[in-house]
A and B are shown apart, each in its own frame.
Chain A
Amino acid sequence: MGKLRIDNVVLRFTPRMGRPVTALDRISLEVDENEFSVIVGPSGCGKSSLLRLVAGLIQPTAGAIYLDGKLVTRPGKDRGMVFQSYTLFPWLTVQDNLEFGLKLGGMAAEERAAVARRFIAEVGLEGFERAYPKQLSGGMMQRVALARALANDPDILLMDEPFGALDSQTRSLMQELLLKIWEHSHKTVLFITHDIDEAILLGDRVHVMTARPGRIKAEVAIDIPRPRSVGVLTADEFIVIKRRIMALIHEEAVRAMS
């Protein structure tokens, strides 16, 4: 479960005033089942738009997206999402935030509570079940958001720069946590970032995007063995891959300037 195919997707915005903008131009990519795929690209290249397309929150101008062979036409709980902004429901406790999707799915109360507790433990937030989001730090809120998405058991997890707003230390901790969780769940993930280190550290595969209009420029397989930890950031093989990706992005930056 969780094989994603993006097929020749074009996305054009036609604002009420001003000229139409082509945000994404003939994007094709595949994410295999149980693969951790990362997209890197410069700011404004259409990464968020691509993820919102996969989530079914917006519709492509042309092309199609399939999850497990099924055409994506609308949002659904088979595609869970974690945003860069804080999206916990402020009026619900941590426990109730996790149960939100489960309740909509019609799960019985006891089972719901048990599932929520399991994922709260998984992100290391035992003891905060009854806390409201306003009582949590940014990192803790993103951990709850991750747990909430995972508790709903989606086929693919979409993450749009989920650690982008966090300080670098918290960010490292979150990356380690995500690696640990992924190690034993092997969920299909499509992860967006503009941090190359983060992309290589987390991904099985990194797709490099071009500046506007967004296209897929290259695809780099990351064959660093797992389990990984932030230690690999200084490994030789890591540096080699990083240099390659940086060269691709630099080439792109130069092209965009001229």
Chain B
Amino acid sequence: MIASFLEAYTAPRREIPRRVYLTVSALVGLGGLLAWCALSYGGLVRSDFLPTPVAVLQAGIDMARDGSLLVNTTASVTEIMSGFIIASLISVPLGILMGSFKIVEAAVEPVTNFVRYLPVSALIPLLILWVGIGIEEKIAVIFIGTFFQQLILIADVSRGVSQDLLDVSYTLGADRRTVVTRVLIPATMPGVMDTLRVTLGWAWTYLVVAELVAGNKGLGYLILNASRGLFTDQIFLGIMVIGLLGLISDQLFKLIRDWLLPWASNP
């Protein structure tokens, strides 16, 4: 029995039955929940360090009732989506050009590689000076956090388009312009979608940094504010909502990719 189990489940990349897959995922999730219950209800960890699951749920219900959960979530989603969409609108075309035209690469790559390694939090004082402490500052943090990474990744996608694919287009009668618009750009689309999906995840990780300054709403603000009063149940709630929204947006992206690019092979 053990031998056949090993035989079936230790082969690299081998598909496993969907049922087994889901069972394993559910078991691990359940295990985590059980460990949490044991630690919190068992009194192994103080309740102001680790809230019980029910306390977190209760905090969620309370905040949903008084409307603050919706207000904070909406504020964060707005910031994330604005920063992310503005960054993507520029990084996608610029990245495609950067990966395929040396002249654009020469202009953009050095400064990108410089800015990309700056910690976003170090730029916050400047951002406050330049754009103030309103929503613009938050959007700017998300933008800076994602834009330069997107640019580098998308340039790589563009660079990776097979030379033979471009060359065969020339031999079919395409001119340069056509090769760019009808071949290079469509060929980058699966890679661009994957990059956007990954960087949207990264955008969420900048949320707390973005709402660090003079916030009065948002999930990051909620967490920071709760930490002042040591309301760990609310901290947990904030973290979980962020995780959940990240998960949902990731799955949405997957669906959109399959829907927009049915011809692309899966990564």
Binding site for B on A (CB under 8 A): 52, 55-57, 75-77, 79-81, 83, 85, 87, 89-92, 100-101, 104-105, 132-134, 145, 148-149, 152, 154, 158
Q: Does B114 reach chain A (CB closer than 8 Å)?
A: no
CA distance A54 to B183 in the complex (A): 22
Establish whether residues B164 and A85, one from each chain, have CB atoms under 8 Å apart when the complex forms.
yes
A87-B162, A91-B186 as given contacts; A132 in contact with B263, CB under 8 Å: yes
B171 lies within 8 A of chain A by Cβ: yes
Bound together, the chains give a CA A149 to CA B187 distance in angstroms of 20
Contacting pair B162 A77 (CB below 8 A) = no
Say if the beta carbon of B165 comes within 8 Å of chain A: yes
CA distance A92 to B193 in the complex (A): 18
Which of the residues A77, A89, A92 comes within 8 Å of B171, measured between beta carbons?
Answer: A77
- Known contacts: A91-B261, A132-B263. The answer to whether A75 contacts B171 by CB under 8 A is yes
Which residues on B sit within 8 Å (CB–CB) of A92? 263
Given pairs A83-B168, A148-B172, 12 additional interface contacts (CB within 8 A):
A57-B167, A57-B170, A75-B171, A76-B171, A77-B173, A81-B168, A81-B171, A87-B165, A91-B189, A134-B264, A145-B168, A158-B171
**What are the residues of chain A within 8 A of B168 when measuring CB–CB?**
81, 83, 87, 145
Minimum CB distance partner of B186 in chain A = A91
Please, how many angstroms separate the alpha-carbon atoms of A132 and B266 in the complex?
14
Docked Cα-Cα span, A52 to B261, in Å, equals 32
Complex CA gap A152/B263 in Å reads: 24
- A80's nearest neighbour on chain B, judged by CB, is B171
CB nearest to A85 among chain B residues? B164
Give the A-B contact count at a CB cut-off of 8 A.
71
**Bound CA–CA A158/B165 (angstroms):** 15
For A85, the chain B residues whose CB sits under 8 A away are: 162, 164
Known: A90-B263, A91-B189, A91-B263. Contact between A80 and B172, CB under 8 A?
A: yes
Asked if B178 lies at the interface with its beta carbon under 8 angstroms from chain A, I say yes
Question: In the bound complex, what is the Cα–Cα distance between A56 and B183 (angstroms)?
Answer: 19
B23 CB-CB contact with A under 8 Å: no
For the complex formed, measure the closest distance between the CB of B51 and the CB atoms of chain A, giving whole angstroms. 48
Task: Find chain A residues with CB under 8 A from B263 CB.
Answer: 90-92, 132-134
Task: Name the residue of chain A whose CB is nearest to the CB of B172.
Answer: A101
Q: Which of B169, B189, B261 has the most CB of A within 10 A?
A: B169
B236 to chain A, nearest CB (A): 44
Of chain B, the residue at the smallest CB distance from A148 is: B172
Do A55 and B186 touch across chains, with their CB atoms under 8 A apart? Answer: no
Taken together as a complex, chains A and B put the C-alpha atoms of A154 and B169 apart, in Å, by 13
Given contact pairs A52-B167, A87-B162, A91-B186, A134 touches B173 in the complex (Cβ within 8 A): no
Residue of B nearest to A105 (CB): B173
Which of B162, B173, B265 touches A104 (beta carbons < 8 Å)? B173
Give the residues from 162 to 210 in chain B that come closer than 8 angstroms, CB to CB, to chain A: 162, 164-165, 167-174, 178, 183, 186-187, 189
List of B residues within 8 angstroms of A158 by Cβ: 171
Find the B residue at minimum CB distance from A82.
Answer: B168
**Is there an interface contact between B172 and A77, defined as CB atoms closer than 8 Å?**
yes
B160: min CB distance to chain A, Å: 13
Q: How far is the CB of A213 from chain B (nearest CB, A)?
A: 23
User: Chain A residues with Cβ under 8 A from B264's Cβ?
Assistant: 90-91, 134
How far, in angstroms, from A234 to B212 measured CA to CA in the complex? Answer: 80
Q: Which of A75, A76, A77 has the most CB of B within 10 A?
A: A75
- Do the beta carbons of A89 and B186 come within 8 Å of each other? yes
For window 234-267 of B, CB contacts with A under 8 Å fall at 261-265
Assembly CA distance A148 to B178 (angstroms): 17
Instruction: Look across to chain B and name the residue whose beta carbon is closest to the beta carbon of A79.
Output: B171
CA distance A100 to B169 in the complex (A): 9
Closest chain-A Cβ to B123's Cβ sits at a distance in Å of 35
Most A CB atoms within 10 A — which of B165, B168, B169? B168
Whole-angstrom distance between the Cβ of B178 and the nearest chain A Cβ? 6
Complex: how many Å from CA A76 to CA B261? 30
Quote the shortest CB–CB distance from A245 to chain B (angstroms): 28
Q: Which of A55, A90, A145, A152 contacts B187 (CB 8 A)?
A: A90
